[in-house]
Structure 1
Amino acid sequence: MKNTTENIMREKLIKKYHEYGFAKFMGEDLLILKYEIDVLEELVKTICANNGTDFKEFILERGEDG
């Protein structure tokens, strides 16, 4: 997978989703993670609007190598 802006944003957002799920499971404070996810989601939505893709399709995209 190439280090394009789209791939970097996708990886960061998915990582934050995983961190959020684990923190929720462990009973930790979720406020900061929620803010980080909100910011990343807004950026990804902008990328999706510019590329004409759906948010879900963008997240599930496997890239050129996979």
Structure 2
Amino acid sequence: QRYAIDPDKIRRELGWQPETSFEDGIVRTIEWYLTHQEWVTQVTSGDYQHYYERMYGGR
């Protein structure tokens, strides 16, 4: 099953318009991840999860 975003409701009710096209946004997102590989490694290593458990675990 395929899911697609339908922005009609948010446009109609809030007058929202995207500032970036999907195509440009996906390219910019990929470029960001490629230039921030150290951050990606840190947040996917498990250390990030341990930090959150340590800081917010009992809440």
Asked if Structure 1 and Structure 2 have the same fold, meaning a TM-score greater than 0.5 normalized by the shorter chain, the answer is no
Ranked by relative contact order (alpha carbons within 8 Å, sequence separation 6 or more), the top structure is 1
> Structure 1-normalised TM-score?
0.30
Higher radius of gyration, 1 or 2: 2
> Structure 2-normalised TM-score?
0.32
More helix by share: 1
